[in-house]
Chain A
């Protein structure tokens, strides 16, 4: 099992805490040591939110800049804001229809540091299903299809099943599966 450092960045109300709970649960099911933290400003709603997730033998709950294997951006500006956490060769996955919003300076930074940038229009897919709040799950499904991730799709699916309220479990699992399929297309 490889260690994993991951950041989930977005704005309040996007389900960032729930997203990181899925990874905590999946890691715990494997008996792994996990740490993490959620950071946000004074605003109750609409402010920047970042969730740190660390798996493996570490001491601090916060990801050290330059060491995140994965930066999951639920919102594009918040993704860019947290770029310093991503390690060279890390995975950047952003909730967007394409990468045209990524400024040139960032593209060349990606190239020079070997960052693998992915995009997935989770908002559009989630909205089309009438479940705009499941965009986070589309992106996690997408992530689980990437070879860099130490979790199998099935492991995340089990974690999501354990964490979902009965009324929404079906819609949640569908969103996760749709994201997974989206990555394989």
Chain B
């Protein structure tokens, strides 16, 4: 019976996590945006407001900062959380490793979203594996509702053992939707009460050894507790007579279950679902596995359950190549895996037929893949165009993580590694070339406004200090665009919508010792070209330093009231199909039109009105003047 007082709602996985935070009594949450985790913090604040619960939510400068802030708040006895995507945990790894030893006081939960695929990340790393490395318990939800229900348990576990606890939803859990019956939020009236204990909170190596011993004891106790937990770990169809059993966790469990049900073989296969992959509930998992000739282990993105099994005989998974070792375990992939495994073990008599027919037909159509491209009207495009036209092929272009990684379509991005690397890598390139005492190529680093504050500040300090000489273009669109328009430090926008202290980019750069710091609107392409050239000249003068150009123009998708005029363009008969605009400016609103008569493989450019942003920038690009402004005015 459902309680009529409990509301049933459809929530996005990330909203379900946010709701779970409230139902667990979480009082403070810190986060840095990153797909697929970005919707959690705003939902936490929104839900708390609507329930009239007082919480603090913060977009922090980066994940390390977020982690340390939330951890300190837990030291006061409050329940706190830190929220990020999987590569964000690399940034927060330093405090995380240490926090396992110091432990926590108020419940402290690390919510870290994985991205098998990867769909919008630089790696497919497995946060569960990070849990093993850091010696921190990991919970792995398979559905949005399970993620919500896991959070009160995670906080309770964290508090009972005074340990951080990781909750690892993956992309499809974060971005899945599910109808669920909500529980009542838990309102904790805990006051901050930091109890000094220097041997713990400021432990020197001697005490660290003792803390490590204590940590190991805690993990053994948590593992014992997981052995008998049948809420997150449970067997389905345990009575089925079968040679084969399946052990699965996270999203792949949900997918496998739906496939088995759809194919009418669900009752034939025992399935052990694991929601607590670390510390490993060994007796329970190995006791289950020992009852069957073969065991298929399905998890993502890496092997964590499989790797921890001490007996590998009869185990099928990533280790023996049954399950692909990279890429997302989509339903299509798992159907292939299951079809083969169920056939081999005699669960089904004949391999599943017909499942690939439609896929083969579609593959034969060779449908064009929609290119990933900067949006029409994106100010970054104009910046990249100006940079590339100024320094050409001989320039070295380091870039960073954000929308502007797509500057690679304009041949203006040569490297993209991790947050902040545009600046430190430009420094590295400079010093490597400088040692040769020959000509040092122009080097231009591009980085977004939010990324600059995330990882660029220490890199710029290092560049000035080591006297590296290059142009740094901060692509300032006044928002963290890629992850869904979160505010940046520069404008002081807070997670709850209020405005706090502003940190102008130009002040930060000047404060770090840059002498050439100029702000320019990149829509003025000719002006941008002249300015980046001037910046380059400055940085190579004897008294020069790394030179900063702040290319400032709001993101068109974010800007509520447009600051630039509508400039409608058209293509005249002068267009000779040279395609310069389509290749060098690479705006998706410049599309391939009819063939130019008498010219082989030459096609007119036509404006795709459905997506054109009326920015007028392409009119500045055509060297025949064939793209003309028919309405409005450029600049």
Contact = CB atoms under 8 A, between A and B. Distances in A.
Interface of A: 11, 13, 24, 27-28, 31-39, 41-48, 58-67, 77, 80-81, 83-84, 86, 88, 103, 105-106, 109, 113
A41 B10 contact: no
A127 B335 CA distance: 42
Contacts of B611: 13, 45-46
A36 B375 contact: no
B361 interface: yes
- Most B CB contacts (10 A, CB to CB) among A39, A58, A84 go to A84
B142 A59 contact: yes
B361 A105 contact: yes
Contact of B262 (A32, A64, A83): A64
Given A28-B179, A46-B588, A61 B172 contact: yes
A180 B290 CA distance: 58
Contact of A60 (B255, B354, B358): B255
Interface residues of B, number: 52
Contacts of B335: 64-65
Contacts of B355: 65-66
Contacts of B365: 80, 103, 105-106
A80 B362 contact: yes
B255 A11 contact: no
Contact of B176 (A37, A41, A44): A37
A80 B367 contact: yes
A45 to B, nearest CB: 5
B258 interface: yes
A132 to B, nearest CB: 9
Contacts of B482: 42, 44
22 contacts: A32-B179, A36-B176, A37-B175, A38-B177, A46-B373, A46-B375, A48-B370, A60-B331, A63-B331, A64-B259, A64-B262, A64-B331, A65-B331, A66-B355, A66-B358, A77-B367, A80-B362, A81-B367, A84-B359, A84-B362, A88-B354, A109-B358
Nearest to A106: B361
Interface in B26-64: none
B234 to A, nearest CB: 13
A103 B373 CA distance: 28
B90 interface: no
Given A24-B10, A24-B177, A80-B365, A59 B254 contact: yes
Question: What 4 pairs between A and B have smallest CB-CB spacing?
Answer: A61-B176, A60-B254, A84-B358, A59-B254
Contacts of B403: 44
B370 A41 contact: yes
Contacts of A41: 119, 370, 372
B175 to A, nearest CB: 6
A37 B177 contact: yes
A106 B257 CA distance: 30
Contact of A61 (B177, B253, B262): B177
B273 to A, nearest CB: 10
B88 to A, nearest CB: 17
Contact of B359 (A28, A65, A67): A65
Given A35-B178, A81-B362, A84-B362, A47 B372 contact: yes
Given A38-B175, A46-B588, A106-B365, A59 B358 contact: no
B368 A77 contact: yes
Contacts of B375: 43-46
A111 to B, nearest CB: 12
B500 interface: no
B557 interface: yes
Contacts of A64: 255, 258-259, 262, 331, 335
**Which interface residue of B251, B365, B403 has the most chain A CB atoms within 10 A?**
B365
A84 B355 CA distance: 8
Nearest to A77: B367
A50 to B, nearest CB: 12
B1 interface: no
B132 to A, nearest CB: 26
Interface in B251-303: 251, 253-255, 257-259, 261-262
Given A34-B178, A44-B481, A67-B262, 7 more contacts: A35-B143, A41-B372, A44-B557, A59-B253, A60-B172, A65-B355, A83-B361
Interface string B114-135: 0000011000000000000000
B41 to A, nearest CB: 19
B357 A113 contact: yes
B376 interface: yes
Contacts of B368: 77
B524 to A, nearest CB: 24
B8 interface: yes
Nearest to A82: B362
A83 B557 CA distance: 31
B325 to A, nearest CB: 21
Contacts of A63: 331
B258 A33 contact: no
A81 B373 CA distance: 20
A37 B362 contact: no
Contacts of B330: 62
A24 B481 CA distance: 28
Contacts of A43: 370, 372-373, 375
A59 B332 contact: no
B597 interface: no
Contact of A33 (B179, B373, B588): B179
Nearest to B405: A42
Nearest to B177: A36
B364 interface: yes
Contacts of B588: 46
A84 B356 CA distance: 8
Given A34-B178, A58-B261, A59-B143, A65 B557 contact: no
Interface string B220-255: 000000000000000000000000000000010111
Nearest to A47: B370
